[in-house]
A = this chain, B = another copy of it.
Amino acid sequence: MGDTLSDQHAVAARLYRERGFQHRVGYGTRPALLNIDLARAGTRKGSPFECENVDEMLVHVARLLEAARAKGIPVVYTTTGYEKDLKDAEPWIRKIPALAMLQLDSELCQIDERVAPRPGEIVLPKKMASAFAGTHLASMLCALRVDTVIVTGTTASACVRHTVEDAISLGFRPIVPREAIGDRIPGAVEANLFDIDAKFGDVEPVEAVHRYLRELAPFTR
């Protein structure tokens, strides 16, 4: 294949639009902010889980966090972590043996201090890629009558993507602020956000999401 990714995406986007894909799922009125796997495993230099462009990504997440907190919308973080004997990592750990480093009480599983959770914000431990897999996230969002999930974090090709796919399957509208998403593989953010925008959620400039939050009425319980 001699085409660049950008060439392919231009062809694909035309095809999608002609066929009735890639429309806007749209913003609802009761969002939650889901920060996926912004733990030190992905944000520290030299970790096997280290992502590209972390510093810049975290600036964008921090800005969204500030806007979300100003409106009192639910803020949830996830972190992937396991018990000592890794019984809860099967069978994923066969595919990714590096998961063995993610012991639940280790420093690698703590959220990066630049986007640290505040009291009352939930840090959800999870075992699999999606924030919804094996967690009470869907029930909690449903009980809070959330209709929209703004998803930030890492990685585009695994945890973020699976979370977005699950979110729309479970009845929520996913919004993905482009600059607030990371990955450890060159091109993975671009490739996966293209698929997400075509089929699962709206990929938006972080500025547009920030504006939405600024204009939103405060979240009532």
Chain A contacts to B: CB under 8 angstroms = 1-6, 8, 11-12, 15-16, 19-26, 48-49, 74, 83-85, 87-88, 90-92, 94-98, 119-120, 122, 126-130, 133-145, 147, 157-158, 161-162, 165-166, 168-173, 184-188, 190-192, 195, 198-202
Contacts and interface: CB of A to CB of B under 8 A. Distances in A.
A145 B148 CA distance: 11
A123 to B, nearest CB: 9
Q: Which 5 A-B pairs have the closest CB atoms?
A: A134-B136, A20-B98, A142-B171, A143-B171, A128-B169
A129 B12 CA distance: 19
B187 A1 contact: yes
Given A122-B83, A139-B134, A173 B25 contact: no
A74 to B, nearest CB: 7
A16 B96 CA distance: 9
Given A95-B200, A97-B20, A165-B130, A140 B90 contact: yes
A184 B5 contact: no
B92 A168 contact: yes
A120 B21 contact: no
Given A12-B188, A199-B129, A172 B87 contact: no
A96 B21 CA distance: 4
Nearest to A158: B199
11 contacts: A8-B187, A12-B185, A23-B94, A83-B122, A90-B140, A96-B199, A129-B165, A134-B135, A134-B138, A162-B162, A162-B165
Given A134-B135, A145-B145, 20 more contacts: A1-B4, A1-B190, A4-B4, A11-B185, A12-B185, A12-B186, A19-B98, A20-B97, A26-B94, A95-B199, A95-B200, A127-B139, A129-B165, A129-B200, A134-B134, A142-B142, A145-B147, A162-B165, A165-B165, A188-B195
Given A4-B4, A11-B186, A185-B12, A136 B88 contact: yes
Contacts of A48: 19-20
